Structures are given as C-alpha cells and as structure tokens.
Structure 1
C-alpha cells in the first residue's frame, strides 16, 4: 500500500515531445512510399515513441519500504530507493534547483534531493514537496536543515 502517490506531467513538455515525433512519422510515411528502408524507420519511430511516452509523465510512489520514480511506462525512466538506504533528504524551491547524480525532472513547484548511504544522490521534481517531506519524516528519514 502506497503512503504517497503523485503523477507529474507538463502540457508544454508533452507538446514539445509531440513536435519531436512529427518528423519521425513523416519520415516513416516517406520511406513507405519510396519502398526503401521502411522496416528500419518503423523500428526507429516505434522506439522513439516509447521513449517519448515514458518521459512525458513521471510517477512518484512512496510505500513502507521504498521510494519509486517511474515514467509513464516505467521502461526507461525508473529508479527505486530503499527507505533504509536514505541518509537524509532536502527540499528545494523550483524544479530546476536540484542537481542529484540521478535527476528526474519535469516542470513542477519544487524538488527533493535524496542522499543515499550507499550510492549516488537522487533528485526529482514534485508539486507537493512538503507532503513528501512529511511522508519521509514519518518513515524516520532525517531532513537536511
């Protein structure tokens, strides 16, 4: 059972990703009409669309044991941090103000930076940083001053 769940998306970022995909679809149609290179272009377009779908939405879930950050599909954008491996965390204003070694970002109100006992720092953007702070504090994770 999740103690906290959030889904972050950005309409502007989604439109930007769609604009990136349009030339690929146009190229797919052109290779089909030309009769050459269609299977390669089809595979490339399919792979690009999967990557774009995965990057368009970010899901944050916190349960009793771990913090999970996933993309829409969870195939490429994914990170799990065990609660017992978190040394401390901090909250920053603005979605661009965190600089973790592994950083997951979409436009949002703030970001959370997690320092692990073993491993690199992880940061992610969120629209509800205080709720995440409260959930992590409830699990016994100390907050940086």
Structure 2
C-alpha cells in the first residue's frame, strides 16, 4: 500500500499528442487501401500508442521502502529510489526549480529534489508539495537546502 500517490497530466500535452496518432491512423488507412505495408504500419501504430500512453502522465508513489516514479502505464519509464539511498530532500516552488541530473518534469506547483548518496540526484514535479513533505519527514528523511 502506497503512503502517497499522485498522477500528473497535462491537457495541453495530451492534446498535442493526438496529432501523431491521427497522422498514423491516416497512414494506416492509406496502406490498407493500397494493400501494401499494412502490417508494418499497424506495428508502428501499436508501438507509438504505447509510448504516447507512457509519456502522457507521470505517476509518483511513495512506499515505506522507496519512491517509485513511472510513466502512466510504467512500461518504459520507471525509476525506483530506495529510501536508504536518499541523504536529504527539498521541496521547491515551481516545477523547473530542481536542477537534478535526472528530472521527471511535468507542469506543476512545485518540485521535490532528492539528494542521493553516491548516485545521481533525482527530482520530480508535484502538485501536492505539503503532502510529500509530510510523508518524507514521517519516513525519517531529513530536509535539506
């Protein structure tokens, strides 16, 4: 059971991703009419739909063992951060104010910066910074800069 769970989406980004889907559907119909390359176009459409579904949202889940950041379906994009690897955390205003090497970014109110021991720092966007701050502090992770 997750102590915290949030899914971030962007209507503007989702609307923008409809364009490649529509163009692929037009291409699929055209290859069907011609009678050549339909199978290849169908496979390309399936892969594209999976990738687009993955990047159309960002899921953040905090468990007692660690933090899991994944795409909407968690097929291609997934990062697990064990809590023992986190040295400290900081919650900052604005979704672009966390300069970590690995940044999972979506338009939101704030971002969470995780300083890790001996590994790349990670940051992610959130719309509920107060809840994340409370959960991470309850798990014994100190606040940093």
TM-score range, shorter chain: over 0.9
Cα distance between partner residues in 2 of 1:99 and 1:21: 32
How far off is 1:99 after superposition?
Answer: 2.8
TM-score (norm 1): 0.93
Structure 1 unpaired stretches of 5+: none
Structure 2 counterpart of 1:63: 63
Structure 1 counterpart of 2:20: 20
Structure 2 counterpart of 1:109: 109
Per-residue CA deviation, residues 75-119 of structure 1 (Å, 9 max, x unaligned), is: 012111001110111222111222322221221111111121132
Q: How does 1:89-128 map to 2 (within 5 A)?
A: 89-128=89-128
Number of residue pairs the alignment of both structures matches: 145
Structure 1 counterpart of 2:143: 143
The answer to whether 1:51 aligns with 2:51 is: yes
Name the Cα RMSD after superposition: 1.3
Structure 2 residue matching 1:45: 3-state secondary structure: helix
Structure 2 unpaired stretches of 5+: none
Moved more, 92-101 or 107-116: 92-101
TM-score (norm 2): 0.93
Cα distance between partner residues in 1 of 2:44 and 2:143: 44
Cα distance between partner residues in 1 of 2:101 and 2:43: 31
Cα distance between partner residues in 2 of 1:27 and 1:142: 53
Cα distance between partner residues in 1 of 2:34 and 2:103: 41
Cα distance between partner residues in 2 of 1:95 and 1:21: 28
Give every structure 1 segment of 4 or more consecutive aligned residues whose post-TM-superposition deviation is greater than 3 Å. none
